[in-house]
């Protein structure tokens, strides 16, 4: 499921419909059920929109009785978001 969600995000970014500034949404690391990415400051709401749209796509594709959800957090370093 997680890989599908990441794939949806990358496809949305490649579509050109989302401007995320200089860094776009650069994946730095992923661990279990967490994604850590770098993006240009000021584009947090756009990044959150991409992540939400991607999980919506996963839910539609898998069509499970219980829907997946996400939580987005932003900070300068890992200790600020975890």
For residues 74 and 44, the answer to whether their CB atoms sit within 8 Å is yes
Interhelix angle 44-62/2-14, rounded to 10 degrees, is: 120
Helices (H), the chain: 2-14, 44-62, 78-81
Tens of each residue's pLDDT in the chain, 82 residues: 888 999 999 899 889 888 887 767 788 998 888 899 998 889 999 999 999 999 999 999 999 999 999 999 999 988 998 7
Give the pLDDT confidence score for residue 82 in this predicted structure. Answer: 79
Strand partners, 35: 30
Running DSSP on this structure, what letter comes out for residue 65? S
Q: Rounded to two decimals, what is the model's pTM?
A: 0.87
Give the pLDDT confidence score for residue 5 in this predicted structure. Answer: 92
Please report, for residues 17, 35, 69, the alpha-carbon distance to residue 7 in angstroms, rounded to integers and kept in the order given: 16, 12, 16
Residue ranges of domains in the chain: 2-81
Give the pLDDT confidence score for residue 78 in this predicted structure. Answer: 87
């Amino acid at each position: 499921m997680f890989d599908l969600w990441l794939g949806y995000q990358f496809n949305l970014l490649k579509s050109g419909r989302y401007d995320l500034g200089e860094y776009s949404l650069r994946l730095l690391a992923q661990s279990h059920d967490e994604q850590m990415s770098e993006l240009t400051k000021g584009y947090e709401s756009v990044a959150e929109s991409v992540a939400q749209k991607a999980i919506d796509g996963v839910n539609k594709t898998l069509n499970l009785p219980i829907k997946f959800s996400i939580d987005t957090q932003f900070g300068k370093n890992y200790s600020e978001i975890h």
